[in-house]
Amino acid sequence: MGRTRFITLVLFLSMILLTVSSPVFASHTDLAGTPKKKFNPRIYIRTDKPILSEMTAEEQYDFLVGAGVAIPAFVQSGISHTEFIASVIEGTEIYPNYDIALIDSTMLSFGAAIRDAVNAYYCREPLLSQFSEEEQLRILRDYGVDFPEKLWEQYRKLILTSVSYSERYNHTMDVINNPIGLDINEMVHAAVSAYYEDHPLALETLAYLHQSVLETHICGPIPLLDSDGQLCGWEEPYK
């Protein structure tokens, strides 16, 4: 009986030590000297800067002012929106393309400005789909998407949707009984892939988006880690 208790105690202490030393529980200061791609990507902050979501409401507000974010008048007047600000900051830390699902145009713009400020603070390069529609179309042209001018407007929505879909799932959309749509999807997907090959910082930002796909189990999740526990690149999940 005594031997059994001793073995149980040893195992219990070993589990505690492994848990404490695990990178899953590392703080942002621990990660400052940690090479990228060497720890669980669910630790979504890799910086030695103070973590914005850990700041007080007053500090978060001061950060936004210092970052040049235009604070709506009704927020400045004392109406509390601390929960909104905190939620957008934390959401953006996890997912750089964090969606602000609001109808009110003022708060929608305010949320987008918060998101941009947070991404800039962490030195993240934006996703292609985060650029304006015109900028996305220009970049696609630069990366070889070439078809008659009338199709750019006729299939504008499909083109932009294909950009987001290619980012999210790393393959083309299924367009039933539409050869032109299929060709557009293939060209857009090739351009998106080439864009991220040329922009490694944006590719790393894309890993956060893939993490959200992985968590929601949509469309056959895109793995973030390869068999060696390393963060996958753009093509690796589909080789």
Instruction: Work out the pLDDT band at 69, boundaries 50, 70, 90.
Output: very high
Residue 221 has pLDDT above 70, yes or no: no
pLDDT at residue 34, as a whole number: 34
- Helices and strands in the chain, H and E counts: 11, 0
Better pLDDT: 23 or 219: 219
pLDDT in tens, 136-195: 999 999 999 998 888 898 999 999 999 998 988 888 887 667 888 888 899 999 999 999
Residue 16 CB coordination number (10 Å) = 10
Report residue 19 as tokens: 């848990």
pLDDT at residue 65, as a whole number: 95
Give the separation between CA 158 and CA 14, rounded to whole angstroms: 55
Q: What are the beta bridge partners of residue 157? A: none
Contacts of 195 (CB under 8 A, 6+ apart): 128, 139, 143, 202
Better pLDDT: 52 or 103: 52
pLDDT at residue 227, as a whole number: 41
pLDDT at residue 7, as a whole number: 56
Least confident of 8-17, 37-46, 166-175: 37-46
pLDDT at residue 4, as a whole number: 59
pLDDT at residue 25, as a whole number: 31
Of 170, 90, 169, 163, the C-alpha closest to 130 is: 163
pLDDT at residue 168, as a whole number: 84
Are 86 and 118 contacting, i.e. CB atoms less than 8 angstroms apart? no
Report residue 162 as tokens: 């294909």
Contacts of 47 (CB under 8 A, 6+ apart): 28, 31, 32, 122, 123
pLDDT at residue 10, as a whole number: 52
Give the separation between CA 235 and CA 62, rounded to whole angstroms: 41
- For residue 164, the Cα-to-chain-centroid distance in whole angstroms is 12
Amino acid 132 reads: S
b/e code 85-111 from CB counts within 10 Å (16+ = b): bbbbbbbbbebbbbebeeeeeebeebb
Are 211 and 42 contacting, i.e. CB atoms less than 8 angstroms apart? yes
Domain spans in the chain, listed from the N-terminal domain onward: 52-121, 128-238
Residue linked to tokens 């409401």? 57
Overall average pLDDT of the 216-237 stretch: 42
Are 192 and 166 contacting, i.e. CB atoms less than 8 angstroms apart? yes
